[in-house]
Amino acid sequence: MTEPQTTTRRARVASVIFAIALASFVLSFVHRTAPAAIAGELTQAFSISAAVLGTLAATYFYVYTLLQIPVGVLADTLGPRRILAVGSLVAAAGSLTFALAPAWELAAVGRTLVGIGVSVAFIAILKISALWFPANRFATLSGVTMLAGNLGAVIAGAPLAWIVTQTSWRAVFVALAVLSAGLGIATWLWVRDRPEDRGFVPVNPVAAAGGARVDWKKALRAVVANPATWPGFFVNMGIGGSYLAFAGLWAVPWLEHTYGMSRVVAAQHASALLLGVAFGSLAIGMISDRLGNRRAVMRVYAVLYALSWIPLVLRVPWPLAASLAWFLLMGLLIPGFTLSWAVAKEVNHAEHSGIATSVVNVGIFLGTGILQPLVGWVIDRGRAAGALDAAWHQGLVLIAGAAAFGALMTLAVREPHRHR
């Protein structure tokens, strides 16, 4: 077989592997944001307060946060195939447990299992991107990944809200369990860790030098000790945390309370936000790879995103079309934080890419895990004091403040000297 033919065949195999991993990541986004569309059903089914609802939704993020660094280590040692296959099966078990739970405590166990299972998806796909594709396509592939993932989140918005009215939220999570199990089997059958496992030469020899030979303790110490790693962590904590806390839980009930929207219309706004994130993620990755500049692009997006919260904080009255357009615009600006993964990979050694991206990724889910129950606590406190309107406003200010913090932290991000 000639070299061009071999390259073409390798590219086809890489595309199939990437597509399977991407499907798992899309499903993780459905799990991540589904509580926003069924918040009312969950509150009614389990007879819980806003604070408990926030904790139930955030359970996913707690375990996701705790596992990000271990997952990065496993991605660099065991490889993405094993962790993605097992993770999908664990997520399937969790989704089924959540669907059948008679009380919120067991639902939280199911949500925890889902968080454990899907915690591997993103780091696994980043590792696949680093090993199977040229380095100068990494940010673009990260953008494609976020595009697809957020389209999954769109499905978990207005479409899911409608599906629940036709069936039930429990039936939806049974279906998600079946899909997760199917993807676990497909991963084991068709995904391979690196081109050499299919008889191809390495695409990125430096990145391919890792694997079982990586001393993960030494690698983790090197990544954590590198000052250039941490600004991306805090950017993610502020911007990613505000985005997921809002879109993943509080956007729909906030719109219902503040603007008197129906659940379907409020879910349409959440879907518009997520749709903007999806296409904005693809655009920012391509722009960054083309310009060869991470920091400047990240800063512009982050600052504009922080400013986009002002009309919501001021509770500006606007027609439906204008509010939908604004949520779409906000979504287009959110993906500034996604460049943190490319920066983390490029300011650390190439063979540590899984660990480096997992460290900064912790920030997203730590921020979300703090904000979701904190906003719920503020709402419950306001309801008890007879000041529910003020409490909803305070909760939104907390989320907007986190976005501003993330934008501020982009000032500390260091531009990599070279793309590895």
Which domains, from first to last, does the chain contain?
3-193+216-412 (1.20.1250.20)
Tens of pLDDT, residue by residue over 253-263, are: 999 999 999 98
Residue 178: CB atoms within 10 A of its CB come to 12
At 281 the pLDDT is 82
Tens of pLDDT, residue by residue over 270-311, are: 989 988 988 888 888 778 777 777 788 999 999 999 999 999
At 216 the pLDDT is 78
DSSP for 304-371 reads HHHHTTHHHHTT----HHHHHHHHHHHHHHGGGGGHHHHHHHHSS-GGGHHHHHHHHHHHHHHHHHHH
Q: How far apart are CA 213 and CA 193, in angstroms?
A: 14
Query: Residue 31: pLDDT band by 50, 70, 90 thresholds?
Result: confident
pLDDT tops 70 at residue 4: no
CB under 8 Å, gap of 24 or more: what pairs does 167-176 form?
A: 169/38, 169/41, 169/42, 169/45, 170/99, 170/100, 171/99, 172/34, 172/38, 172/99, 173/34, 173/95, 173/96, 173/98, 173/99, 174/95, 174/96, 174/99, 174/100, 176/27, 176/30, 176/31, 176/95
C-alpha dihedral sign at 150, 32, 133, 184: negative
Q: How far apart are CA 218 and CA 235, in angstroms?
A: 25
Query: Under a CB-based contact definition with an 8 Å cutoff, are residues 409 and 295 in contact?
Result: no
At 269 the pLDDT is 94
Tens of pLDDT, residue by residue over 160-210, are: 878 888 899 999 999 999 999 999 999 999 999 989 988 888 886 655 555
Q: How far apart are CA 26 and CA 156, in angstroms?
A: 10
At 22 the pLDDT is 95
pTM: 0.76
Query: Residue 419: pLDDT band by 50, 70, 90 thresholds?
Result: very low
Burial of residue 165 (CB within 10 Å: 0-12, 13-18, 19+) is exposed
Tens of pLDDT, residue by residue over 202-219, are: 886 655 555 445 677 888
pLDDT tops 70 at residue 264: yes
Query: Under a CB-based contact definition with an 8 Å cutoff, are residues 350 and 207 in contact?
Result: yes
CB under 8 Å, gap of 24 or more: what pairs does 53-57 form?
A: 53/249, 53/376, 54/249, 54/372, 54/373, 54/374, 54/375, 54/376, 54/377, 55/108, 55/372, 55/373, 55/376, 56/104, 56/107, 56/108, 56/111, 57/111, 57/248, 57/249, 57/372
